[in-house]
Structures are given as C-alpha cells and as structure tokens.
Amino acid sequence: MAKIYVATDVLGFFALDEAGNVVDKELYEKKPDMVAARLMELEKSNYVPEIVKLIERIKPRAEKVVLEDPELARKLVAAVKGVEIVGESPSHILVEFRRNFPKYLGALGLTWDEYQKFLFEVSDLVTRLKLRQAVERRDLFIAQAISTLDDVDKILNLIASRIREWYGLHFPELEELIRDNKEYVTIVYHIGHRSRIAEDALKKILPEMPEERAKRIVESAKKSIGAEMSDWDLEQLKIYADIYLNLDAYREKLATYIDEAMKEVAPNVRELVGPLLGARLIKLAGGLTRMAFLPASTIQVLGAEKALFRALRTGGKPPKHGVIFQYPEIFRSPRWQRGKIARALAAKLAIAAKADAFTGNFIAPRLKEELLKRIQEVKTLYAKPPPKAPTQPAAKTPPPPPPPKKGGEKRPPPRRERGRR
C-alpha cells in the first residue's frame, strides 16, 4: 500500500509507483480526434472515463493517488470512492517521468519520431478546436442579425402600408379602426371579404381584441362604402398578407436569437441596455472587441457620427447621445438631464463591454445599481431646467457664422416593438 502517481500524456494515463516504475496504464484509442476531445476536457480540469477506469483499477493497491492538477483531483474525489486523491504540483515522480519519457516510450514499442508525430497531430488539432471556439465571431453574427432586424422592420412596414391601401379599396373604414399592422393583416388573411367579418370570427383570430371594438368593426363592415372585391381579387392580397405574417413570425425568432446570442457573447451589455440596443451598439462599434476598446465618450455618441463631426467641424455643440438615446431613462427624461444620464450610461457600457470581451465575468448587476443611483442623483439635483443663458451682448465685430442648430438627436424616437400601436 503506497502512493500511486498518475501521469497524463497524449497517449493516455500512466500509473507510477514511488520508484517511478509504471505499474499500470490506460491508453486512449490512438485516434487523434478522440484524444483531442479528451485533452480538451482535461485542460478544463474535467475528468475523462479513462482516468476513472485507471484509478478504479489501482485503487486496491494504493492508499493515495497523486495527480498534478489539483482541480482535477478535487473533481475525481467525487467520482471515485474509496481512495484518497490529492493534487501535488509539481510532483517529483511525474517530473522524472517526463524527463525520462523516451525510456517509457520504448516499452510501448514506439519510437520518439512516431511519438513526436502523434504529439504534433494532437496538439495541432486541440489548438485548432480551441481557436475555432475562441474566434467564432458571434459578435459579428449579432451585428448582422440586428441589421437584418432593421431591414425586416422596414419591409414589414412597407408591406403593411401596401395591404392597407389595397384592402382599403374594399373596406376603407377598417383603416381607422385598427392601428396595429399585424391585427389588420391578420384580418385580411384569415377573413378576407368584409361580408365574412363577424364577432366570433374576429374572436377566433384575435382573441385579445376588446368586444366593443369587434362590434364596431362588424358594424362598419356591414355599412362599408368600399368597392366590391371577388375572391379571385382577394387571392393576391391574401398571399401577400401571408408573406407579412410569416415575416413577422421570423422577426420574433430573430429577436429571440439576438437575445440568446447576446446572453452568450455580451451578457453585461445585454443586462445593462437590453439585447436589441446592446446588439445595435456592437454593430456600430464593429464588433464586441472593438467596442471594448472604445472610450465611453465614443460609445455615448455611437450612431450620431454625423452630428458629432458636424459639431467638430463647426465648433458647435457635440451630440449628447447616439443610439443610446433609445435607453428609456434617456428619452423619457427632460432634455436637460439627458446628457448627464447618457454620459453615465456610456461609462457603464464601456466597462460592461470590456468585461464581456476580456473576462466573461458577470458584473452587470453592480454596474446597473451604480447607474440607477446616478440617474436618481441627476433627477434630484437637476430637477428644474437650468436658467436660460443670458443673451450675448451685441457684438462689435460682425457676428460669427450661425452656430449649428442643435447637437445630436439624429436618431428617430425609439421604435416601439413593431408597427403602429
């Protein structure tokens, strides 16, 4: 009964006694793919079946099993019962094993050249697997997805307005009665001819519509002054409506995808400003890593480049915010508070992006708390609008060229979820 040392190698595991003799071994099948998969696990300090098998087998002969990876040893304790497993780093027996490795190799009937070839093959494979994992540029996928989302929104609006006009020839009164594009198109697609519009039919396709409104729709359908439309005429409109609904369903999926992907790639940014705005920032920065390298002041005006460069050129006021204007606390606040809140938010975003790109630590809750505190502070300290600046005394020299009208705010007001509502 003694200590048994377990050496890890690309060939498998070797059990050594205290004199450095190999007393047992458990080798991998000599398939590079499989070995690579095992090594990936080991490098994360996870155990693999072969090492469990080996320890189970040497257990009766050992009172203590020694490994060099303390984390792996700790995890193995839970997997193999009845023997003490400890980490010792480095272990002199295993150091000697590595130094004299060619000697052990001979016993396996392998030459050093063959071994070196296999070693290269496996390390090459593992490195490539790891690189692929690391360089999967999810952030760029997200940037594309958010651009697609914007495209889809545009297309949806375009289709909806066409359908409204087209169907409006037949049932013009509906235009005023239903503001939501999706509801409108749903009616066109599922019901079609206005004579078929009845309360129970509406209830079936739009269960959330208040009864009183459904009644009004049915009423005006009866009294409509629109032109007659045959099913043959309606057919084309229906196909187009179907496209709208499919595209709308796709939009949902896309938004879910962005949310999921943001959870993986930029959890901190997502937590701070939500998946869509977060994704938009990554897109404008040109990737998460590039966003992580940006100063907060740049993040603050991402999306307002035109206003920023105009301000720099003319010496006017720089924009207070770019896309981060979409953050509710900014666009809902009075004008004079927005700049301060935007600055605070951008500062936190800069930290969040760095954490996402370089550490993977989830620090957003703290950032968020600090941010909300600062927003509260702004709201109490600057509750009143600042006094109007005193008008400049009449200049003796001819006045300078007129200053630009206003800073930033180039972005349209934030888009609601979709369509009109």
Partner 1 sequence: MSIEVVDVRPHERHYGVYIVKFEDGTERIATVNLTPGKRVYGERLIKWGGLEYREWNPYRSKLAAAILNGLKFVPIAEGTQILYLGAASGTTPSHMSDIVGERGLIYSVEFSPRVFREFMEKLVDQGRRNVIPILGDARFPYQYAHYVKGVDVVYIDVAQPAQAKILADNADYFLKPGGHVMLVIKAMSIDVTAPATETFKQEINTLKERGFDILETVHLEPYDTAHAMVIAKKKS
Sole binder of partner 1 in the list 37, 123, 173, 363 (CB under 8 A): 123
**What is the nearest approach in angstroms of partner 1 to the Cβ of residue 101?**
4
Task: Report the chain's C-alpha Rg in angstroms.
Answer: 33
CB of 330 to partner 1, least distance (A): 34
Which one of 3-11, 168-176, 395-403, 404-412 is the stretch in contact with partner 1 (CB under 8 A)? 3-11
Question: Using the rule CB under 8 A, which residue among 89, 111, 147, 314 binds partner 1?
Answer: 89
**Of 84, 114, 124, 219, the one binding partner 1 by CB under 8 A:** 124
Across 77-146, the runs of DSSP E, i.e. the strands, are 84-87
Phi, psi of 11 (to 5 degrees): -85, -25
243: region left, alpha or beta (phi > 0 left; psi from -120 to 50 alpha): alpha
SS3 146: helix
Of 66 and 349, CB closest to partner 1 = 66
Query: Nearest approach, Cβ of 416 to partner 1 (angstroms)?
Result: 40
Q: Does 107 bind partner 1 (CB under 8 A)?
A: no
Q: Which of 287, 191, 179, 189 is nearest to 245 (CA)?
A: 189
Q: Quick one: how many helices (H) and strands (E) in the chain? A: 20, 5
CB of 62 to partner 1, least distance (A): 20
Phi-psi map region of 269: left, alpha, beta (phi>0 left; psi -120 to 50 alpha): alpha
Size of the site for partner 1 (CB under 8 A): 32
Instruction: Please tell me whether residue 36 binds partner 1 under the rule CB under 8 A.
Output: no
The nearer residue to partner 1, 34 or 131, going by C-beta atoms, is: 131
> Considering only residues 29, 43, 165, 211, which one is a binding residue for partner 1 as defined by CB under 8 A?
43
Contact 272, 326 (CB under 8 A): no
Residue from 69, 139, 183, 248 touching partner 1 (CB under 8 A): that is: 69
Residues 6+ apart with CB under 8 A from 176: none
Of 21, 31, 34, 100, which lies in the binding site for partner 1, with binding defined by CB under 8 A? 100
Judging by beta carbons within 10 Å of its beta carbon (0-12, 13-18, 19+), is residue 45 exposed, middle or buried?
Answer: middle
Residues lying near partner 1 in the complex (CB under 8 A) are found at 8-10, 39, 42-43, 45, 68-70, 89-90, 94-95, 98-101, 116-117, 119-120, 122-124, 126-128, 130-131, 134-135
